[in-house]
Amino acid sequence: MATHKSAAKRARQTIKRAARNRNVTSHIRTATRAVREAVTAKQKDQATTALAQATRLLFKAASKGVLHKRSAARHVSRLTTAVNAVSA
């Protein structure tokens, strides 16, 4: 347990941030899964809309510090390549 007032506050903040990051990461995984499932089912329209939502979530998470910006860009790139392969 924290003995200083500032350490106790830091512990509280860490718990809040971890919960927030877990929630954001879960949403990202769900959106990514939706894109992958649409690509597997060869549904271009659904894949495109799911990609737009996943892209938004990934870049938003990167701006909030949940993900690194290059990590988010890499995920978006790979998802976009998969969606473009369906249309080809």
- Provide mean pLDDT across the span 61-76: 97
* pLDDT, tens only, 41-65: 999 999 999 999 999 999 999 999 9
| pLDDT value of residue 19 | 96
- What are the sequence ranges of the domains in the chain? 5-87
pLDDT reading at 68 higher than 80: yes
**CATH code for the structural domain at 5-87:** 1.20.58.110
Q: Alpha-carbon distance 31 to 58, whole Å? A: 9
Model confidence at 24: pLDDT above 80 = yes
Rounded-to-integer distance, Cα 27 and Cα 8, Å: 29
- Strand residue runs (E) in 6-63: none
Q: Which pLDDT does position 84 carry in this prediction?
A: 96
